[in-house]
Amino acid sequence: QVQLVESGGGLVQAGDTLRLSCAASGRTLSSYTMGWFRQAPGKEREFAAAISRTGVNTYYADSVKGRFTSSRDNGKNTVYLQMNSLKAEDTAIYFCAASTRTGAAGARNPYVMAYWGKGTLVTVSS
């Protein structure tokens, strides 16, 4: 089994930067496509960003493209989400998830994710 723990969330102002981390235990993350999903108050959980097993390919929702960057350090068994130019609409609980599938379908679809973290709260004030 894989356990995922997100960290790095907090309260920031619009335009600020945060970096979220997702640390894994149980198994190495190198075997998994890693996705970031978020759920804002009153809304459905949505895809935000993802990264392939080796880090060669990244995927982003249109709402975050150009502002967020997904990366990973398999040696540290950790993935990251760099969030720049944060907006109030980025306020959400951010979840890290792992999938054994590859490609865009394996990265963007929350229903194929095998493991989930409990989330970290990001609050952006305007």
Phi, psi of 89 (to 5 degrees): -70, -5
> What's the mean pLDDT when you consider all of the chain?
94
Is 7 buried (19+), middle (13-18) or exposed (0-12) by CB count in 10 A? middle
Residue 1 confidence class, pLDDT cut points 50, 70, 90? confident
Q: Render pLDDT for 40-57 as a digit per residue (tens, 0 to 9).
A: 999 999 999 999 999 999
Of the candidates 51, 42, 41, 44, the one whose C-alpha atom is nearest the C-alpha of residue 97 is 51
Residue with more model confidence, 30 or 13: 13
Residue 106 confidence class, pLDDT cut points 50, 70, 90? confident
